[in-house]
């Protein structure tokens, strides 16, 4: 429930580009429209080079037609492919390759028919169309899906935080109101009743039996109802905390290798140079030159990742390195192609295009990563706030429960019993009531007031108390206790946690023995996060029906734990997460 | 006293005054009594004295309950006599492990401790195999006719849960909860009507308050 997700694992990975094809996102209008918008200008540039007359409006018109065709084909694929096939990345990628090739065929056929081109560019259009549609649509799908999902999660998380905050404030408000009621009860009922009874005790006219009856009446008519009032009252000691959203940890900055991707840099170079080179050279020569370019860039980026991939740079520094690397990565393949593929009299200057386009390619990748990181940061911030709010809610509930439990139990059990016992002592005596008896009776009666107004004593050492439980059940049930580092320190520093740990551990042991007849229990107490201490009790008792948990301390776990669970496996395991903030050591200046 | 004792008894109550009064009554009846204020001390005393009787307060504060003490003591000596003491006329409404209270245990409300006779009767019944279990634990209370399950539901009603919420917490259907409530009203002589639910909740709180 409050487990923090791994904030780095959700950054873009190469595999995500493939997997997203099987998610249905490529066929949604919310993806296809941005795809059309993003590809319109590059397509215009590409078509401009192919036209026999270099006209920008004509190129734009052809590009618009080309993009319309591909959009239509994507929708057609969506119609044709059965739903189960659309969830298979390989089938979708194959269908998109076919659709891209069809796009090139359709556009080239139309261009040939209307005579806008001197030479046919069918091969380059099929090549570019077939190989660019799956990765570009995957990229757009990935970005769109992440943005939409992040927005939805953000809305729901904010809503959850708000609801939790309201719940916390309502509990604290009720606690305050109950405290006020309690104070009124004490002033209007308890104090007057005690005063009247003390007067009666002092009065030497009262017969023993009459006084004993009055003391009994005090227990029945004042102490017991007051304990009931307390059962629904809380404490004024629960403080309102600041909004959690202001106090959160951000995810760590991604490593350099997570901001750069050799596969996609190589693929983009292969596709980008391919679409130009196929128009300039014979098919085989153009393809080999594009392949050399793509593979070389892939190798150079991989080499860079291997050298500095694990380091974390500020985004600006990483951006400069990425752009700079891409800016020079075109040189080796260019030299190879010049030696092996390019004719000596080549007029076209690919190095000029490369030196402008390549840094942009690198920066584009980083832009996607930075956008994703920004999304993740925002969600992590919200998620931390959500967790913090749940912890605060748990702390408020726990404190309210513990603070009311102490006086309730003491009044209901101890004081009431003590007062009745005092009545019996008074009744069983003989002769006149001595002054020592009067003083004793007054002490007992006024103890009710002390219970309500006094601060609860500090809890005993929780770990020691649990060890005593181990001794208590020894011979009937073997209990092993594994206490992680820092548990004792946390219990010593946080009295509420200490009490909760003691009560929850006791409940786990008692339930295992009472209901499960366990003979072996293994208890582990260890920190699972800076805010949470996990208590896990695994026993060899009979499985517990998960559909019926009455009598298993469900209300107690609800009040004291952030969350809890009960599972029946090889062993019956109860797990409770208790709020316990890690102690940060402070260094004192001497 | 030890020489003429009828046996060893352990009294456990977190209130020393109560503990002392019970011990006094038992000692007067010839028992050798060890007093304990917590569960661990009680078990240690049971082992050490080979006690044949344990008188235990059900609620001992944070830590094992009197029920745990008895369960642990019975592991040492299955025939040990048991008398429970508590504040509540019907302790089932606390929901604290009532099902694990042995059937042959005697039970006495703390207010009855004022009466020496009541405690002696409870001890006698706890030790007498012919009448053990004959002492009805929840007689003469308004909730005695309700089953343990119904007491559990009564507690949920008193906490203001709706039928939906009760059904959810018990993993049953709303219809089943409605039938259960209907049977509870009949058993408690509560006429069906708009105020029936309020009366059920009052029944619970009255029992908790000992009214």
Per DSSP, the residues of A452-515 read: HHSPPPPPP-HHHHHHHHHHHHTTTSEEEEEE-TTHHHHHHH-HHHHHHHHHHHHHHHHHHHHT
For residue A336, the surrounding DSSP H or E stretch is helix A331-340
Q: Are B22 and B46 in contact (CB under 8 A)?
A: no
According to the model, what pLDDT value does residue A537 have?
95
Each as own residue / partner, the long-range contacts of residues A246-251 (CB below 8 Å, 24 or more positions apart, any chain) are A247/A388, A248/A380, A248/A381, A248/A384, A248/A385, A248/A388, A249/A380, A249/A384, A250/A377, A250/A380, A250/A381, A251/A7, A251/A8, A251/A373, A251/A376, A251/A377, A251/A380
Of A309-323, A373-387, A549-563, the least confident: A549-563
According to the model, what pLDDT value does residue A244 have?
41
A554 contacts in chain B (CB < 8 Å): 169
According to the model, what pLDDT value does residue A211 have?
86
B59 contacts in chain A (CB < 8 Å): 409, 413
Tell me: pLDDT of A34 over 90. no
pLDDT, greater one: A367 or B8? B8
According to the model, what pLDDT value does residue A554 have?
65
Percent of chain A with pLDDT over 90: 18
According to the model, what pLDDT value does residue B1 have?
41
Assign domain B148-209 to its CATH architecture: Orthogonal Bundle (1.10)
B152 contacts in chain A (CB < 8 Å): 550-551
Tell me: pLDDT of A223 over 60. yes
Per-chain mean pLDDT for chain A: 81
Which of A228, A232, A413 to substitute to test the interface with B, most B CBs within 10 Å?
A413
**Which band of pLDDT confidence, cut at 50, 70 and 90, is reported for residue A350?**
low
Instruction: Produce one character per residue of A413-426: b if its CB has 16 or more CB atoms within 10 Å, e if not.
Output: bbbbbbbbbbbbbb
A459 contacts in chain B (CB < 8 Å): 62
The partner residue sitting opposite A412, judged by closest CB among B71, B87, B169, is B87
Q: CA-CA distance, A456 to A571, in Å (whole number)?
A: 37
According to the model, what pLDDT value does residue A3 have?
46
The partner residue sitting opposite A224, judged by closest CB among B63, B152, B209, is B209
The CA distance from A226 to the nearest CA of chain B, in Å, is: 9
Of A303-312, A441-450, B199-208, the least confident: B199-208
According to the model, what pLDDT value does residue A382 have?
80
Q: Which two tokens stand for residue B211?
A: 């009214």
The partner residue sitting opposite B152, judged by closest CB among A423, A469, A550, is A550
**Which band of pLDDT confidence, cut at 50, 70 and 90, is reported for residue A252?**
low
Nearest CA in chain A to B71: A514
Burial label for B23, CB within 10 Å (0-12, 13-18, 19+), is: buried
Of A157-171, A213-227, A443-457, A473-487, the least confident: A443-457
The CA distance from B85 to the nearest CA of chain A, in Å, is: 10
Tell me: pLDDT of B144 over 60. yes
A216 contacts in chain B (CB < 8 Å): 111, 114
Closest CA to A178 of A117, A218, A113, A228: A228
Q: Is B61 within 8 Å of A409 when comparing Cβ atoms?
A: yes
The two most distant CA atoms of chain A are separated, in Å, by 133
Q: Is B61 within 8 Å of A420 when comparing Cβ atoms?
A: no
Q: Which two tokens stand for residue B53?
A: 């009787």
Residue numbers of A between 354 and 413 with CB closer than 8 Å to B: 409, 412-413
Tell me: pLDDT of A240 over 50. no
Give the number of beta-carbon pairs within 8 Å between A and B: 105
Per DSSP, the residues of A393-421 read: HHHHHHHHHHHHHHHHHIIIIIIHHHHHH
The partner residue sitting opposite A421, judged by closest CB among B17, B65, B97, is B17
According to the model, what pLDDT value does residue A587 have?
53
Q: CA-CA distance, A486 to A581, in Å (whole number)?
A: 11
Query: Where are the CATH 1.10.10.10 domain residues in chain B?
Result: 148-209
ipTM above 0.90, yes or no: no
Q: Is B18 within 8 Å of A417 when comparing Cβ atoms?
A: yes
Q: Is B75 within 8 Å of A476 when comparing Cβ atoms?
A: yes
Q: Are A573 and A513 in contact (CB under 8 A)?
A: no
**Which band of pLDDT confidence, cut at 50, 70 and 90, is reported for residue B115?**
low
Q: Is B110 within 8 Å of A416 when comparing Cβ atoms?
A: yes
**Which band of pLDDT confidence, cut at 50, 70 and 90, is reported for residue A92?**
very high
Mean pLDDT of A452-470: 77
pLDDT, greater one: A529 or B110? A529
Q: Which CATH class is domain B7-127?
A: alpha beta
Q: CA-CA distance, B38 to A561, in Å (whole number)?
A: 26
Q: Is A409 within 8 Å of B59 when comparing Cβ atoms?
A: yes
pLDDT, greater one: A131 or B111? A131
Tell me: pLDDT of A8 over 50. no
> Would you mind telling me the total number of residues written for chain B in this entry?
211
**Which band of pLDDT confidence, cut at 50, 70 and 90, is reported for residue A234?**
very low
For residue A306, the surrounding DSSP H or E stretch is helix A283-308
For residue B9, the surrounding DSSP H or E stretch is strand B7-12
| Highest-scoring range by mean pLDDT, A131-140, A312-321, A341-350 | A131-140
Tally of CA atoms within 13 A in the half-sphere of B111 that contains its CB: 17
Q: Could you tell me how far CA B194 lies from the centroid of its own chain?
A: 33
Query: Where are the CATH 3.40.50.2300 domain residues in chain B?
Result: 7-127
The partner residue sitting opposite A424, judged by closest CB among B14, B114, B205, is B114
Tell me: pLDDT of A505 over 80. yes
pLDDT, greater one: A196 or A553? A196
The pTM (predicted TM-score) of the whole model is 0.61
The residue assigned the tokens 């908790």 is B208
Burial label for A344, CB within 10 Å (0-12, 13-18, 19+), is: exposed
According to the model, what pLDDT value does residue A106 have?
95
Q: Which two tokens stand for residue A160?
A: 């959850």
Is A503 at the interface with chain B, CB within 8 A?
A: yes
Tell me: pLDDT of B2 over 80. no
According to the model, what pLDDT value does residue B89 have?
66
B100 contacts in chain A (CB < 8 Å): 514-515
According to the model, what pLDDT value does residue A413 have?
67
Q: A208: Cβ–Cβ under 8 A, 6 or more apart, which residues?
A: A426, A427, A429, A430, A433
Percent of chain A with pLDDT over 70: 86
Mean pLDDT of A6-18: 63
According to the model, what pLDDT value does residue A103 have?
94
Q: CA-CA distance, B56 to B12, in Å (whole number)?
A: 5
Mean pLDDT of A84-102: 94
B83 backbone φψ class: left, alpha, beta (φ>0; ψ -120 to 50) = beta
According to the model, what pLDDT value does residue B211 have?
42
B40 contacts in chain A (CB < 8 Å): 468, 471-472
Closest CA to B65 of A420, A224, A561, A511: A511
Q: CA-CA distance, A144 to A137, in Å (whole number)?
A: 10
According to the model, what pLDDT value does residue B209 have?
56
In this predicted model, what pLDDT tens digit does every residue of A309-334 receive, in sequence order? 888 887 778 888 888 888 888 888 88
The CA distance from B19 to the nearest CA of chain A, in Å, is: 10
Residue numbers of A between 529 and 588 with CB closer than 8 Å to B: 547-548, 550-551, 554
Domains of chain A and any CATH numbers? 164-250+397-453 (no CATH), 462-579 (3.30.565.10)
Q: Are A88 and A24 in contact (CB under 8 A)?
A: no
Each as own residue / partner, the long-range contacts of residues A89-95 (CB below 8 Å, 24 or more positions apart, any chain) are A89/A18, A89/A19, A89/A20, A89/A21, A89/A22, A92/A21, A92/A22, A92/A26, A92/A134, A93/A18, A93/A21, A93/A134
According to the model, what pLDDT value does residue A264 have?
79
Each as own residue / partner, the long-range contacts of residues A306-312 (CB below 8 Å, 24 or more positions apart, any chain) are A308/A256, A309/A255, A309/A256, A309/A257, A309/A260, A310/A255, A310/A256, A310/A257, A311/A255, A311/A256, A312/A252, A312/A253, A312/A254, A312/A255, A312/A256
The CA distance from B162 to the nearest CA of chain A, in Å, is: 16
Tell me: pLDDT of A236 over 50. no
In this predicted model, what pLDDT tens digit does every residue of A538-553 receive, in sequence order? 999 888 765 545 454 6
**Which band of pLDDT confidence, cut at 50, 70 and 90, is reported for residue A433?**
confident
Q: CA-CA distance, A236 to A183, in Å (whole number)?
A: 11
According to the model, what pLDDT value does residue A61 have?
92
Residue ranges of alpha helices (H) inside A89-242 are: 89-114, 122-185, 191-202, 208-218, 224-231
């Amino acid at each position: 429930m409050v487990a923090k997700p791994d904030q780095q694992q959700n950054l873009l990975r190469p595999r995500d580009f493939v997997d997203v094809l099987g998610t249905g996102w490529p066929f949604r209008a919310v993806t296809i429209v941005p795809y059309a918008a993003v590809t319109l200008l590059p397509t215009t540039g590409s078509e401009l080079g192919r036209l026999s007359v270099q006209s920008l409006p004509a190129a734009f018109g052809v590009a618009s037609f080309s993009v319309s065709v591909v959009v239509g084909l994507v929708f057609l694929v969506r119609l044709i492919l059965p739903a189960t096939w659309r969830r298979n990345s390989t089938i979708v990628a194959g269908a998109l390759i076919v659709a891209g090739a069809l796009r090139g065929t359709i556009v080239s056929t139309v261009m040939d028919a209307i005579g806008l081109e001197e030479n046919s560019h069918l091969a380059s259009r099929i090549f570019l169309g077939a190989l660019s549609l799956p990765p570009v649509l995957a990229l757009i799908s990935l970005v769109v899906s992440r943005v939409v999902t992040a927005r939805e999660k953000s809305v729901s998380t904010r809503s959850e935080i708000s609801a939790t905050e309201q719940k916390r404030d309502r509990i604290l408000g009720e606690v305050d109101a109950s405290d006020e009621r309690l104070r009124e009860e004490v002033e209007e009922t308890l104090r007057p009743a005690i005063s009247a009874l003390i007067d009666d005790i002092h009065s030497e006219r009262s017969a023993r039996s009459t006084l004993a009856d009055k003391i009994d009446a005090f227990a029945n008519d004042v102490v017991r109802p007051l304990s009931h009032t307390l059962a629904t009252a809380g404490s004024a000691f629960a403080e309102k905390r600041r909004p959690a959203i202001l106090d959160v940890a951000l995810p760590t900055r991604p490593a350099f290798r997570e901001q750069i991707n050799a596969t996609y840099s190589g693929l983009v170079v292969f596709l980008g140079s391919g679409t130009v080179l196929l128009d300039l050279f014979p098919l085989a020569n153009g393809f080999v030159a594009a392949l050399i370019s793509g593979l070389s860039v892939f190798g150079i980026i991989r080499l860079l990742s291997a050298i500095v991939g694990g380091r974390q740079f500020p985004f600006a520094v990483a951006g400069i390195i990425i752009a700079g690397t891409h800016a020079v990565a075109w040189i080796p393949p260019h030299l190879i192609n010049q030696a092996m593929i390019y004719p000596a009299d080549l007029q076209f200057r690919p190095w000029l295009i490369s030196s402008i386009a390549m840094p942009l390619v690198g920066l584009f990748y980083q832009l996607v990563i930075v956008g994703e990181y920004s999304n993740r940061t925002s969600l992590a911030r919200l998620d931390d706030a959500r967790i913090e709010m749940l912890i605060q809610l748990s702390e408020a509930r726990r404190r309210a429960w513990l603070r009311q439990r102490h006086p309730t139990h003491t009044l209901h059990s101890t004081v009431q019993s003590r007062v009745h016992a005092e009545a019996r002592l008074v009744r069983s005596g003989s002769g006149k009531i001595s002054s020592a008896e009067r003083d004793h009776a007054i002490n007992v009666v006024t103890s009710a007031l002390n219970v309500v107004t006094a601060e609860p004593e500090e809890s005993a050492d929780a770990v020691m108390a649990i060890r005593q439980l181990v001794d208590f059940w020894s011979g009937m049930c073997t209990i092993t206790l594994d206490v992680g580092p820092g548990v004792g320190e946390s219990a010593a520093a946080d009295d509420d946690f200490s009490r909760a740990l003691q009560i929850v551990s006791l409940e786990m042991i008692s339930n295992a023995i009472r209901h499960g007849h366990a003979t072996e229990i293994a208890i582990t107490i260890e920190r699972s996060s800076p805010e949470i201490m996990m208590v896990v009790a695994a026993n060899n008792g009979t499985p517990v029906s998960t559909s019926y948990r009455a009598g298993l301390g469900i209300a107690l776990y609800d009040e004291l734990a952030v969350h809890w669970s009960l599972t029946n496996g090889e062993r019956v395991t109860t797990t409770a997460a208790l709020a316990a903030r890690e102690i940060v050591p402070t260094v004192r200046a001497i | 006293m030890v020489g003429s004792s009828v046996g060893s008894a352990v009294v456990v109550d977190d209130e020393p005054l109560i503990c002392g009064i019970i011990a006094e009554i038992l000692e007067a009846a010839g028992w050798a009594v060890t007093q304990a204020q917590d569960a661990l001390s009680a078990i240690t005393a049971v082992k050490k004295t080979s006690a044949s009787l344990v008188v235990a307060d059900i609620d001992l504060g944070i830590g094992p309950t009197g029920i745990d003490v008895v369960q642990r003591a019975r592991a040492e000596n299955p025939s040990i006599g048991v008398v429970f003491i508590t504040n509540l006329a019907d302790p089932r409404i606390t929901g604290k492990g009532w099902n694990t209270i042995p059937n042959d245990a005697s039970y006495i409300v703390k207010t009855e401790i004022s009466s020496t006779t009541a405690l002696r009767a409870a001890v006698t019944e706890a030790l007498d195999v012919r009448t053990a279990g004959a002492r009805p634990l929840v007689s003469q209370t308004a909730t005695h006719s309700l089953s343990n399950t119904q007491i559990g539901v009564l507690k949920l009603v008193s906490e203001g849960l709706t039928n939906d919420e009760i059904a959810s917490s018990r993993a049953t259907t709303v219809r089943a909860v409605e039938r259960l409530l209907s049977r509870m009203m009949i058993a408690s002589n509560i006429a069906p009507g708009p105020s029936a639910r309020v009366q059920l909740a009052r029944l619970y709180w009255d029992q908790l308050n000992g009214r």
